[in-house]
Amino acid sequence: MNPQRSGSISGPLGLPPEPEPADSTHSGADDLMQTAQALFLLMAMATWAKHKKILREALALQSVLATLVRDDGLKNKPLSEDASWEEWIRAETIKRTKFIVFCFFNLHCIVYNIPSLILSSELKMTLPCSAAEFKAPTAAKWREVRKRVPPEPDFQIAFHRLFSRGARNTTGWNSSLGNYALIHALIQHIFFVRQITRCRCDGDGDLSPDDVSALEQALRNWQLGWKRNPESSLDPMDPNGPVAFNSTALLRLAYIRLNIDIGPGRALDTRDPIQIANSFRESRAIKRTPKLVRAVLHSAHALSIPVKIGIRLVARTQTFVWSIQHSLCSLECAFLLSKWLEALSLPHPEPEVSDDERRICSLVKTMLDETEFAVRSDLPLESPVTLKQLSASVLRVWARIFKGAQTWAIVDVIGTSLNIYADMLETGESLTRGIH
């Protein structure tokens, strides 16, 4: 037995010891990344657990995991032309592990408002390969696929290309996992731009028109790249995997985050439904703008899908087709649409309600009429009572879906929180009981 292998967990914090400089078998580096993969799985499982103590442990693993990934390096060395299939598998697996860790850290940022410990500017690797290439069962099949697909672009080049306004610079396509990493990088970019904007003393916290325009261009270019990828599909059961489908949820979330400042947090880390509902209730009012209409429309379309399929059916089957990304995006959609309807219900709303806003209100009411949460039809659509009922009903539809069969405990907590928030809207009161 190799003594270095047998002692691979004898280093500080139980981590692998430093590989010896003369080591040419990659055993030390392999141990490092295998440990990172194991820690990642522990963190991923604990992140969505119901108990706050387990969540704390998951977040505590972040710094150790980030250190392991950095120790191995956020750059990938180009393989030689005559590299074997086995050498390529090892290099590609390590690269994909690092990108997935980057994306998961970003999910922590989305949900818990914790800045990612790995920044997109640090990634100096080529994007992951296509699903067909990675899943090739033999060396011969792998070589055959590699002849058909273009080489993976460098992450930094692909990311900066998203902000280009010249169509010539945005041609080509990236792999499904590559697109997934890029949409996470755009969401991270939006997060940090908003952090900077909040610190400005000469503004109201809104993004500048130039920032919004640049990010809208980047999101449009990302969509074009997603469509160009022959492996992209809206079917979560696609043979190439659900990554492309999950990316579309993050695109919707990116549009919402671009057009509305969600704020510093929604108390999801407390795992207390009443505290979460109170944080929803106490969040600042929506500022209605023409730009916001697009994000609201995205939220309305997100609601239309489960309504058309059937709320009860989606509630029973979501665990088989929805990722945690779709649940988190649906929460953002429910929150935005409800807050927007609440803003419209104010007496003499400013600015005046536009034709586009009226059409969205009518669309939402028509959708809800097909559910058990339909609102009264004896009042005008624009009456404050009707709009408040619409706001609460939107929350109840999503709550019913979240309370159905699901894999992650946090989804059930979110469903309970949305129901409590809907109660608050209907009674006009906040709750303080049961907070712990």
Return d(Cα 237, Cα 320) in angstroms, integer: 9
Residue range(s) defining the domain that contains residue 209: 150-258
Same domain, 280 and 250: no
Tell whether 398 is covered by a domain.
yes
**pLDDT tens per residue across span 347-365:** 888 889 999 999 999 999 9
Same domain, 166 and 237: yes
Same domain, 297 and 422: yes
In the listed set 240, 258, 276, which residue is the last one of a domain according to the structure? 258
Tell whether 142 is covered by a domain.
no
Same domain, 305 and 224: no
Tell whether 277 is covered by a domain.
yes
Same domain, 396 and 423: yes
Same domain, 118 and 220: no
CA angle 37, 40, 42 (to 5 degrees): 115
Same domain, 269 and 297: yes
Report the 3 state secondary structure along 407-434.
CCHHHHHHHHHHHHHHHHHHHCCCCCCC
Return d(Cα 267, Cα 112) in angstroms, integer: 8
Q: How many Cα atoms are found within 13 Å in the side-chain-facing hemisphere of 165?
A: 4
Output the DSSP codes for 187-245.
HHHHHHHHHHHHT-SSS-SPPPHHHHHHHHHHHHHHHHHHHH-TT--S-TT-TT-SHHH
pTM: 0.88
**pLDDT tens per residue across span 120-145:** 999 999 999 999 999 999 999 999 99
Tell whether 237 is covered by a domain.
yes
pLDDT band with cut points at 50, 70 and 90 for residue 315: confident
Same domain, 339 and 411: yes
Task: Please check whether residue 142 is in contact with residue 133, taking contact to mean a CB–CB distance below 8 angstroms.
Answer: yes
Task: Read off the tokens for 388.
Answer: 């408040």
Return d(Cα 422, Cα 363) in angstroms, integer: 20
Position 11 pLDDT exceeds 70: no
Same domain, 63 and 87: yes
In the listed set 231, 258, 285, which residue is the last one of a domain according to the structure? 258
Same domain, 234 and 276: no
The arithmetic mean of pLDDT across residues 391-404, rounded, is: 93
- What distance lies between CA 379 and its chain's CA centroid? 38
Tell whether 208 is covered by a domain.
yes
Task: Read off the tokens for 6.
Answer: 């047998």
Return d(Cα 206, Cα 329) in angstroms, integer: 22
Q: How many Cα atoms are found within 13 Å in the side-chain-facing hemisphere of 354?
A: 10
pLDDT band with cut points at 50, 70 and 90 for residue 321: low
**pLDDT tens per residue across span 281-300:** 988 888 898 889 988 998 99
Position 381 pLDDT exceeds 50: yes
Task: Read off the tokens for 392.
Answer: 């609460």
- The number of distinct structural domains making up the chain is 3
In the listed set 217, 242, 258, which residue is the last one of a domain according to the structure? 258
Tell whether 10 is covered by a domain.
no
Task: Read off the tokens for 14.
Answer: 């139980």
Tell whether 41 is covered by a domain.
yes
Same domain, 306 and 234: no
Same domain, 253 and 277: no
